[in-house]
Amino acid sequence: MRISSVKPFVHPDFPNLVYVEITTDEGVVGLGESYYFGSTVAHFINEFAGPSILGKDPLKREEISKSLTTYVGYNSSGVETRARSAIDIALWDIAGKIANKPIYELLGGKSSRPLRIYNTCAGKEYMRKSNQSSKSWGLDNESSEYEDLKAFMNDAGTLAQELLTEGVTAMKIWPFDLFAEKNWGSEISSTDLKAGLLPIQKIRDAVGDRMDIMVELHALWSPKAAKEIMIALKDFGIFWVEDPIYPDNLDELESLRGAGMPEIAHGETIASRKRVETLVKRNLIDVLTLDLSWCGGLTEGLQFAELAEANGVRIAPHDCTGPVGLTIGAHLSTSDENALIQETVRAAYRTWYPHLVEGIPQINGGTLVVGNEAGLGVKMREDFRKDIQTLRLAVNS
């Protein structure tokens, strides 16, 4: 069996997403996905990655991954790695279909416990565009359906109560980000610090300790400001603080560790095994939030997960990108006893994810359940495909 066609897709309404379909000479089709500047990634697939893998055995994923990692610049989660990620996910989809097994079965089967989820409190327009600031939060959207970002900014306690009624017992918010935009995160005033803590206090007042709270800082803060925020969070029983500072500041990250400090989660943008190894061996993080659509795919992500487990660090796959990214992360989480929790975004899951693909894992109360279909278990919807743009011609052998 050989790869006969590699076809990337970008939809005008979802310019950050890129899809790739890989077809074999026996007609088996695999679907992959990556996120951020979709057209740029699609062009790279057309011009280099696609032609490079034509005629290769789709089951030789490690070999293909290495062939697409040809120089030092590939150690970031840039265009090349995002393309490699989408391709690798599609190859795993093919492998599952050939074996007639879901991907988690290829990884050893389901773990012994249900897969707990948390809700990232974004709205359905959140980060649909590429500008990484509050301008891309979708706050001007008139819809009131699942606008969880507006809700946590204005009435976090009621939002927490609503999530609990659905069985969701963990939520992630980012109440400090707007204040970082004032001065590039160099410092935080006492007034802004108190304002950032207010949604967290509202959650605790409304539901007590029944809701686990993750606080996302998006690496927007200086080490000094991040430490002030984390110290202020100590009394709230925070589940974790995510990306408190820019991840290259390893020594400064170490300064945020210590007795009573919240646990640190990090890793969605990491694309280097060496970086993961450094983080986990130096005990700089507690949870690795790897993203399989950014790190090089499941083939690379499995290496990350092994390093994490060997050094006492849990994994919690990232999802704030697209439905295939959620699905491949769920396959890993479902099969890995070291998976702590799986990120979900109900605003996306219940609104636009189902318009793109069919067969996404089912949320059952506060857990995520992956089905028994072969491969990923998802396929692109035909009505979505009709509106999609294929960049240039598909790469065919």
Query: For position 131, what pLDDT does the model report?
Result: 59
The dihedral region occupied by 285, where left means phi > 0, alpha psi between -120 and 50, and beta the remainder, is: beta
Instruction: Delimit the domains of the chain by residue range.
Output: 3-100+380-392, 105-376
User: Residue 104: which H helix or E strand, with range?
Assistant: helix 103-106
Alpha-carbon distance 93 to 101, whole Å?
Answer: 10
Q: In the chain, how many H helices and how many E strands?
A: 16, 17
Strand ranges (DSSP E) for 180-255?
A: 212-216, 240-242
Query: For position 392, what pLDDT does the model report?
Result: 45
Superfamily of domain 3-100+380-392: Enolase-like, N-terminal domain (3.30.390.10)
Contacts (Cβ under 8 Å, ≥6 apart) of 47: none
CATH fit for domain 105-376, picks 3.40.50.300, 3.30.420.40, 3.20.20.120, 3.40.50.410: 3.20.20.120
Q: List the structure tokens of 152.
A: 């946590």
Query: For position 393, what pLDDT does the model report?
Result: 42
Please list the pLDDT of the chain residue by residue as tens digits (397 residues). Answer: 999 999 999 988 899 999 999 999 999 999 999 999 999 999 999 999 999 999 999 999 999 999 998 765 566 789 999 999 999 999 999 999 999 999 999 999 999 999 999 999 999 888 776 655 565 566 666 666 889 999 999 999 999 999 999 999 999 999 999 999 999 999 999 999 999 999 999 999 999 999 999 999 999 999 999 999 999 999 999 999 999 998 888 999 999 998 899 999 999 999 999 999 999 999 999 999 999 999 999 999 999 999 999 999 999 999 989 999 999 999 999 999 999 999 999 999 999 999 999 999 999 999 999 999 999 999 999 888 877 765 544 566 6
